[in-house]
Structure 1
């Protein structure tokens, strides 16, 4: 795990987490694991799921989440997304057909937030940065590098929920651009509000990972 991945509880988000835990606890753990790509250890009553290159343990039915072989827990929004994903997953196959946020259920409503909290920060951070160094940061989050754009990284937030970040770098004449895309099956695993939070979190993590790597290279 990386330092920016370690979080603490925030009281302001306690109701959202409590509701996510309630939904999680109402589902059968073995069914959730089968539909989500997680595994379930019945002896330990723990689900294990891979996310952003990290393994995390989810206690059932309490919904407590820590990094595997650690006592550290991820930030509240990551924990909330994990519980939401496990509760909602229905085993719909990944199609590799990509859609924009606006093509999700009610996606047009929150699109301004996508621009201000995901697209614009990515452009601001990466438009003048070296391609190979950006790709290296993506790989640290468990990404696979695909064709398309100057950088095209498919990042598995969860086993059956990838998102794709595309970057086109700028130069003296043109400003760079960015986009975030989702598999057409995305709403089978997270609702659109959660997908919004997922995109914000992943773009933030990518920026922090890049900054961390730059600091260590100094």
Structure 2
């Protein structure tokens, strides 16, 4: 649509004349000089962008591409803190981030209804997530981008309580994406999880 196209063109323009080696170093990705390609490990795959056009051959979600370009533009090389925080704790997240958190928790709780724990764990692993030992029944860390992990914490249902889930970002997230992009990331991850479940276990 028009709004997306305008943002896409603007995102590519901001990357004009930026050194691909500098981009790669700050974003934690690989620049292959022989093929003039930026290679980004993302979830369960490697995305390749041709430099300097930033064109791609794979079939990718439009908004995912926009987020990726913004990530490459904003990345400053800040190390991942491994400290997960709420979206509302990000810069300018008090309104947009908190609002998304409420929507996200409702969507996650709806997704978790009647799901077997093993199914949810398999979905996370199939998307490249690392399962971390924690106080939660499930703590999965998704490598959306090399320096932009997304954490999913889940309490599965028992005899007394329904299953609940929560998604978080790393404390360093502001060094890589704006709050608007962070919300798009959250929405994208919700779609990915639901879609992968459908692929593995059938329609919800």
Range into which the TM-score falls when normalised by the shorter chain: over 0.9
1:26 deviates by: 3.5
Counterpart pick for 2:24 among 20, 33, 36: 33
Distance apart, 1:98 and its partner CA: 1.4
Deviation at 1:172, TM superposition (A): 4.7
Q: CA deviation at 1:73?
A: 2.4
TM-score normalised according to structure 2 size: 0.92
1:107 aligned partner:
93
Kindly indicate whether residue 141 of structure 2 is the aligned counterpart of residue 141 of structure 1. no
Whole-Å Cα distance in 2 between the matches of residues 83 and 17 of structure 1? Answer: 8
Q: Residues 95-146 of structure 1: CA distance to partner in whole angstroms, max 9, x if unpaired?
A: 1111111110011211223322x22111111143111111110011110001
SS at match of 1:62: coil
Q: CA separation in 1, counterparts of 2:171 and 2:116? A: 31
Structure 1: stretches of 5+ with no match in the other structure: 1-9, 67-71
Verify: 1:210 aligned to 2:201, yes or no. Answer: no
Q: Which moved more, 1:76-85 or 1:127-136?
A: 127-136
Cα distance in structure 2, aligned partners of 1:146 and 1:94: 16
Which of 119, 132, 143 matches 1:156?
143
Matched residue, 1:83: 69
Q: After TM superposition, what 4+ stretches of structure 1 lie above 6 angstroms from structure 2?
A: none
How much has 1:208 moved relative to structure 2?
A: 1.0
Match of 2:155 among 165, 168, 172: 168
Would you say the 8 A contact 1:25–1:63 is kept in 2? no
**Residues of 1 paired with 2:52 and 2:95: CA distance?**
34
Between the aligned partners of 1:87 and 1:166, the Cα distance in structure 2 is 29
Task: Tell me, yes or no, if structure 1 residue 13 matches structure 2 residue 8.
Answer: no
Which of 76, 82, 90 is residue 96 of structure 1 equivalent to? 82
Task: Determine if the alignment matches structure 1 residue 190 to structure 2 residue 174.
Answer: no
State the shift of 1:195 in Å: 0.7
Per the normalisation by structure 1, the TM-score is: 0.86
- By how many angstroms is 1:182 displaced? 1.4
Paired residues in the alignment total 201
Separation in 2, partners of 1:108, 1:162: 21
Unaligned runs of 5+ in 2: none
Q: Note the alpha carbon deviations across 1:2-58, whole angstroms, 9 max, x for none.
A: xxxxxxxx4441111111111122421110001111111223221011111111111
